[in-house]
Amino acid sequence: MELKWSKFVNQIHHFVINRVHKEDFDNASQSAFLHPIVRRFCRGSMITKHHIIEDLAGEWLEDIPIKPLLKFFGGELARTAQLHAVSA
């Protein structure tokens, strides 16, 4: 997992720009503020990633960022189970 700033953070003050709405988790990768990115690797190559919407307090305690993360983990676990079932 990585915490990442937007590519715009050095160009524009991040409190002045239009930010992604806290419930718009589909566009979390466009977050202007610090936000976590969870990446999944297989044999040294990244195969998928999930951006968690920014939280100005840096706490991510509400359901808004947690539910999409759980959905991501569930999907990845299901995909892994399918791959193992096919290869068995």
Residues 54-77 pLDDT 10s = 887 888 888 988 999 999 999 999
**What would the pLDDT profile of 5-25 be if each residue is shown by its tens digit?**
666 555 556 566 677 777 887
Q: What is the four-CA torsion angle of 27, 29, 33, 36, rounded to 10 degrees?
A: 120
In sequence order, which ranges of the chain are alpha helices (DSSP H)? 63-87
Q: Quick count: other Cβ atoms within 10 Å of Cβ 4?
A: 15
| DSSP letter, residue 53 | P
pLDDT confidence band for 32 (50 / 70 / 90) = confident
What is the spatial distance between Cα 21 and Cα 88, in angstroms, rounded to a whole number?
Answer: 44
Q: What is the pTM of this model?
A: 0.74
Instruction: Retrieve residue 52's tokens.
Output: 């968690």
In the structure encoding, which two tokens stand for residue 21, read together? 């709405």
Domain boundaries, the chain: 2-87
Instruction: Decide: 15 and 56 in contact? Cβ < 8 Å.
Output: no
